[in-house]
Copies of this chain bind each other. A is one copy, B any other.
Amino acid sequence: MLNITGNYTDLYQISMAQVYFHENKHLNPAVFDYFFRKNPFQGGYTVFAGLGTLLNALESLRFSEDDLRFLANQGFKADFLGYLADFRFTGTLKSCHEGDLVFPGAPVVTVHADLIEAQLIETLLLNTLNFQSLIATKAARIRSVAGVAALLDFGLRRAQGAGGYYASRAAVIGGFNGTSHVKAAQDFEVPAVGTMAHSFVQSYDNELSAFRAFAEDQPNNTVLLVDSYDTLKSGVPNAITVGLEMAARGHSLKAIRLDSGDLAYLSKQSRQMLDSAGLHHVKIAASNQLDEHVIKSLQEQQAPIDIFGVGTSLVIGRPDGALDGVYKLAQYRDKPRIKLSENTAKMTLPGHKQVLRLYNSQNQPIGADVVTLADETKPDIMLHSFEPFKSMDLHKLTAKPLLKPVMKAGQCCETQPTLKDIADHVQFQLTQMPQDYRRFDNPHEYKVGLSPGLKHQRDSLAQQLRRQA
């Protein structure tokens, strides 16, 4: 649906690229790290999402003739534009699996490419991974409190423009079961869901006629919206009438939908009314400004809701709205590079690195990752990034590397998993992770530390640069 070309980027990438090109340094090898600094939603983890989208976009990324014409008008030079006209991304990506739980401070993706190529893909990479990871994380948090209820994405109308498209993809990764967004359902092979709005009911002379008309036309997909006039006095009784009529014809009313008022109270009353009429099979769906907090509260009150439709809060990742992922140069011409910044915590980790996830003797993740130099073996000790007296003994632990090649020479080097595979992988990891780390409120902090080799490299490089400055 989105036609992503080379100009889907920040101008400074192109400005820098021209300098690299004219200085003839553009083909020198570089390594960039993608990482983030804070889990969203005051949660304990982040669900990594968007990788499949990114890989597809990188394989087909080109500068169009329109792009080049615009850049020429901006004053970019003909020789450089010739380079862009032939641009293909030919680099290597090492990455966590899509759907991995990832944590602040550890590289999630490393890009190994000619300096100019690595620079030119920065904005696209950030735009894709930051957003989908945000939404997948939100969806996973909602899933974590929704029990066995179905979760449906209803967000397109309040989504941030076309942002709603990939929000629907990411929602499925985090544990949603369907989307109202037809185009997303079509492209991502996700169930499309939805039946009626208030306008439908209003367009009939009375609610019962509206319900009957719908049930007549789509008897296999009837969900009746019951709050247009009065939920318990009008909507539910009319839905029961139609539910019984459908049953008499051998059809089955799928559900009623509550969209306003006190959902706990109304769902309990509705359930009772449906059950009393023998309509035990009719499910109850609820919508109206739901988020993980409201759903958690409804579940605690044992509201008999089978299906939650979540809109705005999901697709815009409220309240955070963005994952703070960044993309930093870690190595250039085989030499590690660092950025110091005025804020010490924003100092980067130099060099080509690996991330090891640590497991105990029962092969359970212990809640810690160690960032190492790429060619290091598992270290015996993990050091805190900044506090000199904090460390962890790793002798008794095993380690598995998280970063694996997913693209080589600009081509995907493994079959991409389906969205369902990715979603299953998320849930599997959540069951594996110790409970304290995935706690809904005030989770225990997952540890990300450095190997002695990496810490030494970072600190000596920083010292050297400070001495120069």
Contacts and interface: CB of A to CB of B under 8 A. Distances in A.
Interface in A373-389: none
A238 to B, nearest CB: 9
A151 interface: no
Contacts of A262: 342
Given A1-B2, A11-B193, A18-B217, A159 B163 contact: yes
A114 to B, nearest CB: 12
B157 A161 contact: no
Interface-centre pick from A196, A198, A221, A231 (highest chain B CB count, 10 A) = A198
Interface string A286-312: 000000000000000000000000001
B316 A322 contact: yes
Interface stretch (A324-332, A398-406, A411-419): A324-332
Q: How many copies does the complex hold?
A: 2
Given A22-B217, A203-B329, A321-B317, A194 B157 contact: no
Contact of A161 (B128, B186, B340): B128
B18 A221 contact: no
Contact of A339 (B158, B194, B228): B228
Interface stretch (A67-75, A92-100, A360-368): A67-75
Interface in A337-363: 337-343, 346
A207 B298 CA distance: 57
B192 A162 contact: no
Interface string A1-20: 11111011111111110111
Interface string A206-248: 1100000110011011000001111101100000000000000
Given A158-B324, A182-B7, A16 B196 contact: yes
A339 B196 CA distance: 14
Contacts of A437: none
A161 B213 CA distance: 39
Contacts of A458: none
A276 interface: no
Nearest to A323: B158
Contacts of A123: 156-157
A468 B218 CA distance: 27
Contacts of A132: 161
A465 to B, nearest CB: 6
A376 B465 CA distance: 74
A175 interface: no
A207 to B, nearest CB: 8
B70 A186 contact: yes
A232 to B, nearest CB: 10
Contacts of A198: 328-329, 339
Contacts of A162: 2, 161-163, 165-166
A186 B7 CA distance: 9
B18 A202 contact: no
A197 interface: yes
A410 to B, nearest CB: 20
B156 A75 contact: no
A181 interface: yes
B213 A23 contact: yes
A261 interface: yes
A144 to B, nearest CB: 21
A328 to B, nearest CB: 7
A-B CB proximity, top 4 nearest: A261-B342, A163-B163, A160-B163, A12-B194
17 contacts: A1-B3, A3-B3, A10-B182, A11-B185, A16-B200, A16-B214, A126-B157, A159-B163, A160-B321, A163-B164, A198-B328, A198-B329, A203-B337, A234-B469, A260-B342, A261-B342, A312-B322
